[in-house]
Amino acid sequence: MNQYYVYIMTNKSKTLYTGVTNDLQRRVYEHKQKLVPDFTAKYNITKLVYFEPTSDVYSAITREKQIKGWLRSKKISMIESQNPKWQDLAENWYDTDPSLHSG
């Protein structure tokens, strides 16, 4: 069964970015290494602060759109309900390059 993730990343200024992916570890690595020249690279958004899994891609996309439509205060409340210290949830994920992992 496939796994999909809706995730929120941030930077030191707590600028929020919400995304969806089928490979959270790879996608967060891309953000952290600024491999895609987009919003997250421009604003140095490298810290994973929230994610939720789902087995349905349509549910993931719908949830991403829902969260993107929320007020900032609601997004912050959701993050802080799961991660009150805004810790980087991917802090210890990359002992090696994730492209070397199978899967």
What CA–CA distance (Å, rounded) separates 82 from 94? 22
pLDDT recorded at residue 96:
57
Pick from 63, 20, 19: nearest CA to 39: 19
| List of domains in the chain | 4-91 (3.40.1440.10)
Q: Which of 91, 88, 5 is nearest to 49 (CA)?
A: 88
pLDDT tens, position by position, 73-82: 999 999 999 9
What sections of 3-100 are H helices per DSSP?
24-33, 39-42, 57-69, 72-82
The pTM of this model reads 0.89
